[in-house]
Amino acid sequence: MNPSAASKQHRLRPLEPDRIRCLTFDLDDTLWPVMPVIRHAEARFYAWLRKQAPAVCERFDPDALIQSRTDFMRAAPDHERHDLTGLRKRWLRELATTCDCCPDHLSGEGFRVFWEARNEVTPYPEAPGVLAVLARHFRLGAISNGNADVFRTPLGAHFDFAIAAGEAGAAKPDPRIFQQARAQAGVEPDAILHIGDDSSADVLGALQAGFHAAWFNPNAMPWGHGHPRPCLTLGRLGQLPQRLNIDSRGNTA
């Protein structure tokens, strides 16, 4: 971390709920569990392959296909790893060439099948109600390293804007993705509270960008980064309104 970023962290005021104007949320494993939806999307895609590109299924069973995709993405250059959509489409084109299929079909229709299923998320039980309460008091934004589109999920109606790493050109904890969120929020960085489950990408990234940060930590993991520390640590999403001085009816305390 450069000295100016560290200095900015040190100068960040303690959290004053009345000063917060915008909340930004990570998506995967903060508002919904990610692995069930990824397994669902991969299964939907493989079922599509059986009908539309059986040559792929003759060469790869479901586990081998996932391993192929994982290996491809791990081998990508660092400057491309933020763009999961772009990487998946390039992998699909390579897969099509390997299996003598149509690259445009796999990277077009095949990707769409996966991506639509990728957005069929099941939010954590508290998420819809908590977001509905918070949306009456704050602008709400999403900042995600994944390629889900929050506006295509059951939670989309609560959000004002979303920033995805693939479109931002950078992934958390890079300050650039937080800077784009700040521009969308239209407020100063210290008027934003970011909430996420990843202690490095979400918490340290947000603090480095001058945001306040809340760590969503339902498994009560120890904080392993020394200072700075998150402004809030949440075991449940349902704790957030109270910590921001909002009661269960949505009134400001």
| pLDDT per residue as tens digits for the range 163-182 | 999 999 999 999 999 999 99
Burial (CB < 10 A; 0-12, 13-18, 19+), residue 231, is buried
Of 62, 96, 118, which residue is a domain's last?
A: 118
User: Which of 24, 21, 26, 25 lies closest to 187 in space, CA to CA?
Assistant: 21
Spatial contact of 41 and 34, defined as CB atoms under 8 Å apart: no
Residues 139 and 232 in one domain: yes
Strands 192-196 and 232-234: unpaired
* Mean pLDDT in residue range 211-231: 95
Residues 128 and 229 in one domain: yes
Domain assignment of residue 205, yes or no: yes
pLDDT above 70 for 47: yes
Residues 187 and 100 in one domain: no
pLDDT above 80 for 246: yes
Residues 133 and 239 in one domain: yes
pLDDT above 90 for 252: no
**Residues written for the chain:** 253
Residues 130 and 199 in one domain: yes
The enclosing domain of 209 has a CATH number of 3.40.50.1000
* Higher local confidence (pLDDT), 90 or 12: 90
* Higher local confidence (pLDDT), 84 or 2: 84
Domain assignment of residue 249, yes or no: no
Domain that holds residue 103: 35-118
* Mean pLDDT in residue range 4-31: 79
Of 91, 118, 145, which residue is a domain's last?
A: 118
Residues 169 and 105 in one domain: no
Strands 212-216 and 232-234: parallel
| 56, 35, 44, 113: CA torsion to nearest 10 | -90
Handedness of CA 173, 174, 180, 183 (dihedral sign): positive
Residues in contact with 97: Cβ distance below 8 Å, sequence separation at least 6, in sequence order? 103
Spatial contact of 117 and 40, defined as CB atoms under 8 Å apart: yes
Domain assignment of residue 190, yes or no: yes
pLDDT score of 237: 97
Residues in contact with 141: Cβ distance below 8 Å, sequence separation at least 6, in sequence order? 22, 23, 24, 25, 159, 160, 161, 162, 163, 181, 184, 185
What pLDDT digit, counting tens, does each position of 16-27 carry? 999 999 999 999
Q: pLDDT-based confidence at 91, cuts 50/70/90?
A: very high
